[in-house]
A and B are shown apart, each in its own frame.
Chain A
Amino acid sequence: MSSKNVRILIAKPGLDGHDRGAKYIARALKDNGYEVIYTGLRQTPESIVQTAIQEDVDFVGLSLLSGAHNELFPKVVELLKQNQAEDIIVFGGGVIPEEDIPALNQQGIKAIFTPGTPIKDVVSFIEKNRKT
């Protein structure tokens, strides 16, 4: 019965109330065999990071449609580092302009999935980066 299950936190930082995307991805990841923890709307980076640590997740997926991704996504990465949890991989999704992506990647957000991304791309990202 021993097996390492991949655990993923799906969280929505910031103030927008558009959670269709976050719920879609949570459900799709569940259907692909992952354990998904869903925290709901309007989470602060601090509470996302504390949740990620308590839940001992392998990945944090951030969904944001308000335009605050350039501040909030890197903040999550930074707080994880401050809590010695930099091994938790952060990815993001939502309405993110193409030109913002390189800078986000550079600041430690491992992947950005924009609207219309097929779920299999997200799954293959997780499979490639998961701890075995």
Chain B
Amino acid sequence: MKLIQGILQGKVRPLAKAISLVEDNLIDKEELIDQLYPHTGKAAIWGVTGPPGAGKSTLVDKLIDRERSQDHRVAVIAIDPSSPFTGGALLGDRLRMQRHSLDPQVFIRSMASRGHLGGVSWGCSDAIKILDAAGFNTIIIETIGVGQTEIEVVELADLVMLVLAPGMGDEIQAMKAGVMEIGDLFVINKKDLPGSEKLKAEIEYVLNLSSDNPEQLPPVILASAQKSEGIDELWKKLSTKYQQLVKSGYLSARRKERIKKELSRIILYKVHHLLDKKIALQDNIDNWAEQVYLKKDMPYTMVNKQINRFKKEMRLDDSKN
């Protein structure tokens, strides 16, 4: 495939085209990814997540500066939501990073979530592999503005930064399950706003409650991305944290876990499609629903009947082979 050569040489057009291929989920993507896969594993992958308006994009913009000062090549995938009604999307994260658009060592790509609900998009994990193979040292994934449960970035990134801003709730919010549990690092952005110190104390308190090992606590850093304050500290902590991950062997454990999850996801997705076709769900669902609506069949009786029919057909298929 011509694309592959271009990507490995770090050319922008083939790289961008390849990302579209995985976003559009075209069948060619499988060969592409499998051929690039041996070249992956070198990049550090950072996840940046947090509620809408917390300042994720502005923070990423500043982190790009710090990475560039080390001569690192940086790629950013910035995800924004697709409309569940029209499928359209307004992708505006890059607006805050546009001053890097002429730096050939920085690649920024906006992605729409396209109906995926975990805070990232379907194509994201493959896009990361493409960027990794293209030789970027650092890949930053900026999720959509998340609520409490969109934590899938943890399955993509080596290290997750949770960006919060004051004014979003008390310590009970911080104790809830979900997004608060995935941060390797907490950033309280907009530190000049009232309540930032208090939020920091509350988060530290909650983190203390849930940890037996105070040494391993995720750092909580006050910053103002817009005023470029606290960025150096954040960036240093990030690097230290990453070094720790590598040394402790936790990074490879995380990556193995990631592969496990990804394989499961793809297998289930494919099986689901196979089954969908086999059961002919789309053709029959109206009829089945009608039967249940009229109470001619009970819901579970109907479901089990269809499953049994399917099992029987599978056995017939098996004996034929």
Chain A residues packing against B (C-beta within 8 Å)? 1-5, 7, 26-27, 29-40, 43-44, 46-47, 50-51, 53-56, 83-85
Give bound CA distance, A56 to B13, whole Å. Answer: 8
Chain B residues within 8 Å of A46, by CB: 102
Binds A, one of B84-92, B184-192, B251-259: B84-92
Given contacts A2-B27, A5-B112, contact A37 B91 (CB under 8 A): yes
8 Å CB contact of B86 from A30, A38, A83, A85: A30
Contacts of B90 in A (CB 8 A): 26-27, 30, 36, 38
User: 8 smallest A-B Cβ distances: which pairs?
Assistant: A56-B16, A30-B88, A47-B101, A2-B25, A33-B86, A40-B95, A30-B90, A33-B88
Choose from B19, B101, B112 the contact partner of A35 (Cβ within 8 Å).
B112
Any A CB within 8 A of the CB of B98:
yes
Residues of B within 8 A of A4 (CB): 24, 26
A85 vs B17: C-alpha distance when bound (angstroms): 11
Instruction: State which residues 5-56 of B face A: CB under 8 Å.
Output: 12-13, 16-17, 19-20, 23-27
Question: What residues of B have a CB within 8 angstroms of the CB of A39 in the complex?
Answer: 94-95, 98, 101
Asked, given contacts A35-B112, A51-B94, A56-B17, whether A5 binds B26 with beta carbons under 8 Å apart, the answer is no
A37 to B94, CA, bound (A): 8
* Interface size of B in residues (CB-CB distance below 8 Å): 32
Q: How many A-B residue pairs have CB under 8 A?
A: 92
Contact in complex: A54, B109 (CB < 8 Å): yes
Contact between A5 and B23 (Cβ–Cβ < 8 Å)? yes
Contact between chains at A36 and B91 (CB < 8 Å) = yes
CB-defined contacts of A50 to chain B, threshold 8 Å: 12, 101-102
24 sample A-B contacts, Cβ–Cβ < 8 Å, listed by A number: A1-B25, A2-B26, A3-B25, A4-B24, A5-B24, A5-B87, A26-B90, A30-B86, A32-B88, A33-B87, A34-B88, A35-B82, A35-B112, A36-B88, A37-B91, A37-B94, A38-B90, A47-B102, A50-B12, A51-B94, A53-B13, A54-B12, A54-B16, A54-B108
Give every chain A residue within 8 A of B23 (Cβ-Cβ): 5
In the complex, chain B residues whose CB is within 8 Å of the CB of A85: 13
